[in-house]
Amino acid sequence: MKYWSQTFIPTLKESPADAEIASHKLLLRAGLVRKLGGGLYTFMPAGLRVMQKISQLCRDEMDREGAIELAMPFIHPVDNWVDGPRWAAAREIMYRVDHAGAGKGRSKEPEFVLGPTHEEVITPLVKSEITSYRDLPKNFYQIGTKFRNEIRPRYGLMRAREFVMKDAYSFDATDAGATESYHKMKRAYTAFFLRCGLKTIPVEADTGVMGGSFSHEFMVPAPVGDDDIVYCDESGYSANREKATSGIVPKDLPDAATAGALEEFPTPGIVTIAALAAAGVPADKQFKTLVYMGDGKPFLVVLRGCDDLEEAKLGALGFQLCRPATPEEIEPIMGAKPGSLGTVKGTIKNPAALAGIFADHAIRLVGNGTTGANKDGFHLRNVNVVRDLAVTKFGDFRTVRAGEPDPKSGQPLKIARAIEVGHIFKLGTKYSEKFGAVYTDDQKQSHLMVMGCYGIGISRTLQAVIEQSNDADGIIWPWHVAPWQVLVVNLDPADAACTDLCKKLATLAESAGADVLIDDRAERPGVKFKDADLIGLPLRLTVGGRGLKEGIFEMKWRTSKDVSKVAITDAEKLVSEAVRTAASKA
C-alpha cells in the first residue's frame, strides 16, 4: 500500500489554458503528467504507474503469442535509414543528430537520427543472426521511447514529439507463415485493448510509408479523434478514411452510351468546379483533372467534380513521394493553367511527359459530362468516358462519404471520428529485400524472409483510456490500468482508531489483489472527495466521522453515485469480495 503523503499527486482545481480536450485537461489536473515543452511531458508518479501497468498488460499479451522482448538503441546511424526503402519519405519527421565532431573538420564522422520506429535496425540485426529456416519464425518486440519531429504537437500525449511505443517485428519463411503471425498479433492487440478497458474497432487501413500488402488500425471512437473511420453496423465493415471504399459504383454498371459530338464552349473566368456548377453544369456532371508529381514525374488523376481526392490512395500507384504539381509545372505539360484542364484524347500538349492518367471508378457514373479543354477559358461538353478520355488505369481514389452504400451489404455507411492506438502491417519482403535478410531452406536454397510489423502507442493508449472513460468530476479508471485500484480515505488522520481501521481495510484489499492508496492528508473531507473523483480510482473506502462511532465505513464505486454503508465486522468478507469481483469482471 502507498500513503498519499508519501507519494506526489499534484492535483489542480482548474484546467491549464493550453489544454484543449477532456483527456488532456484531466492528465494535468489529476497530476499524471507535467509539460516541459511542446509535445514533451514528464510522467509524474501516478502517471508513471499507469504507464507501467499498460506496458505490463502489453507484455503479457505479446508473450502469450510467442513474441520475444529485446531492447534496441534509439539513436540510429543514418546509413541504416539511407540504405532502407523509406528514407526519402521518413526523413522529414525524424530528428537528426550530428556526431559531436561533425562540422568541425571531421567530415567522416557518421550522422545519427532518433528512431521513430525500428524496421531499419531490426532487419539488419536478424539478417546477421538468422540464416536457416530452422530458426524461423521469430517475432521480436520492445517497449520504449520514440521520437517524431511533430510540427504541431497538440492534445497532450496524443500528438507528441517524444512518446512511448511497443513495436514488434515478425520474420517468417513463407507468406502463409507471415499471415499467421499477423493474425496472432491481431489477436494479441484485441486482448490487450480489452484488458485496458478500451472499446476499439479494428479497421482496414492504408499501409502508407511503412509499405506492405495490408494493415489494420485499432481505433478508439472519440469526437476528438485524429482520423475518420467508415463503418457499417449491419455487415461489420470498417476501414479508416484513407482505405475506405463504398458500393457507389455497381459492379455491373454498363458503359454509358455516347450522347452527341464533343463540343468546345467558352468559359471565361470560370476556373473552379463550383463556378462551372453556378453556370449550369452540376458538379456530378463534371470531370475534375488533378496534376500530381510522383517521384519527380507528372501524372493525372481524374475524378467526378463532386468528389474529393483521398491522397493516401495514390500510394497504390507505387510512387515513393507524391505531391500536387505547381502551376509552373502544369502549363508546359497540359497547355493550360489549372481551371481549364482535362484528359480528352488529343488535347494534352505533352502527353509523353506523363507517367500515366489514373481515373476513379466513379467517373463512369457521369457517362457524358463536361471537362476542361486544355485551353485557358474553354471547356468541352458531351465528354464520354470510353470514347473520349485517355485513361491509363481505373482505381479507387475518392473520399467516401456518409450514406453511400456499404460495399458488403449495400446499407448506408456511417463515419465517426476516432483515435488510433495501434497499427499492424503485413510488410512482405520490402525491408528484407533492401537489407538482404535471407534464409536457406532444407534444399540449401536462399529466400527472402517475409516480415510484419506491429505498433501500439503505450502513452497514447493511456490518454485514450481517459478520453473514453471520464465524467464531469474526473477520470474513471478501468480496473487493470488504474494507478491504484482502491482508495482508502482517512477523514481523521489524527485519530488512532481511524488510522488503524484504514490500514486494516487497505491490507484486506491488498491481500485480495488490489493496489491500494491511503489518503492520509490533513485536508477537509470535501477536498479529499473531490480529489478522489478527479484521480478516479475504481473503489473508494471512507473511514471516519460519525460512521466510525456507529461501527461502519462507506464503500463507493467510481462508476456509481450510490454509497454503501458497511459494518466494520463485515469488512473482511465484503472488501475481499468487492476486489475479487472487480478484478474478475475487468
Q: Residue range 446-464: average pLDDT?
A: 97
Predicted confidence (pLDDT) at residue 135 exceeds the cutoff of 70: yes
User: What pLDDT does 315 receive?
Assistant: 87
| Minimum mean pLDDT range among 57-71, 105-119, 466-480, 548-562 | 105-119
Q: Which is more confident, 481 or 408?
A: 481
Distances, alpha carbon 331 to alpha carbons 42, 309, 356, 374, in Å: 52, 21, 17, 9
For the chain, what is the mean pLDDT?
A: 94
Does 239 map to a domain?
A: no
Transcribe 548-579 into DSSP letters: HHTTEEEEEETT-S--EEEEGGGHHHHHHHHH
User: What pLDDT does 218 receive?
Assistant: 95
Q: Tell me the CATH number at 30.
A: 3.30.930.10
End-to-end CA gap in the chain: 21
Cβ 461 vs Cβ 54: under 8 Å = yes
Q: Tell me the CATH number at 553.
A: 3.40.50.800
Q: Residue range 489-503: average pLDDT?
A: 96
Does 26 map to a domain?
A: yes
**3-state DSSP assignment of residue 583:** helix
Residues 184 and 57 in one domain: yes
Look up cell 478514411; give the residue. Answer: 241
Residues 274 and 316 in one domain: yes
Transcribe 321-381 into DSSP letters: -EEEPPHHHHHHHHSS-TTS---BTT--S-GGG-S-EEEEGGGGGTSEEEEE-SSTTEEEE
Residue 359 cell numbers, joined: 481515373
Residues 154 and 65 in one domain: yes
Does 440 map to a domain?
A: yes
Residues sharing a CB contact under 8 Å with residue 381, sequence separation 6 or more, in sequence order = 262, 263, 265, 281, 369, 370
Does 271 map to a domain?
A: yes
Does 476 map to a domain?
A: no
Which of 164, 218, 211, 160 lies closest to 189 in space, CA to CA? Answer: 218
User: What pLDDT does 260 receive?
Assistant: 87
Identify the domain boundary among 440, 466, 492. Answer: 466
Residues 138 and 51 in one domain: yes
Reported as a single tens digit per residue, the pLDDT across 88-132 is 888 888 998 876 555 444 445 568 999 999 999 999 999 999 999
Q: Residue range 239-249: average pLDDT?
A: 92
Q: Residue range 276-297: average pLDDT?
A: 96
User: What pLDDT does 251 receive?
Assistant: 87
Does 405 map to a domain?
A: no
Identify the domain boundary among 435, 466, 497. Answer: 466
Residues 324 and 442 in one domain: no
Residues 378 and 436 in one domain: no
Q: Which is more confident, 452 or 204?
A: 452
User: Measured between alpha carbons, how far is 377 from 338 in angstroms, rounded to an integer?
Assistant: 10
Predicted confidence (pLDDT) at residue 207 exceeds the cutoff of 90: no
Name the residue range of residue 446's domain: 22-74+115-224+415-466
Q: Tell me the CATH number at 304.
A: 3.90.960.10
Q: Residue range 340-364: average pLDDT?
A: 96
**3-state DSSP assignment of residue 522:** coil
How many domains does one find in the chain? Answer: 3
**C-alpha 213 chain-centroid distance:** 18
Cβ 359 vs Cβ 380: under 8 Å = no
User: Measured between alpha carbons, how far is 497 from 17 in angstroms, rounded to an integer?
Assistant: 43
pTM over 0.75: yes
Does 8 map to a domain?
A: no
Predicted confidence (pLDDT) at residue 548 exceeds the cutoff of 80: yes
User: Measured between alpha carbons, how far is 194 from 464 in angstroms, rounded to an integer?
Assistant: 13
Residues 158 and 44 in one domain: yes
Residues 374 and 495 in one domain: no
Cβ 439 vs Cβ 446: under 8 Å = yes
Residues 31 and 164 in one domain: yes
Predicted confidence (pLDDT) at residue 390 exceeds the cutoff of 50: yes
User: Measured between alpha carbons, how far is 250 from 362 in angstroms, rounded to an integer?
Assistant: 10
Residues 459 and 501 in one domain: no
Predicted confidence (pLDDT) at residue 255 exceeds the cutoff of 90: no
DSSP state for residue 277 in the 8-state scheme: H
Does 237 map to a domain?
A: no
Residues 492 and 437 in one domain: no
User: What pLDDT does 105 receive?
Assistant: 47
User: What pLDDT does 257 receive?
Assistant: 84
Residues 462 and 492 in one domain: no
Reported as a single tens digit per residue, the pLDDT across 136-192 is 999 999 999 999 998 888 899 999 999 999 999 999 999 999 999 999 999 999 999
What would you report as the CA-atom Rg of the chain, rounded to the nearest whole angstrom? 30
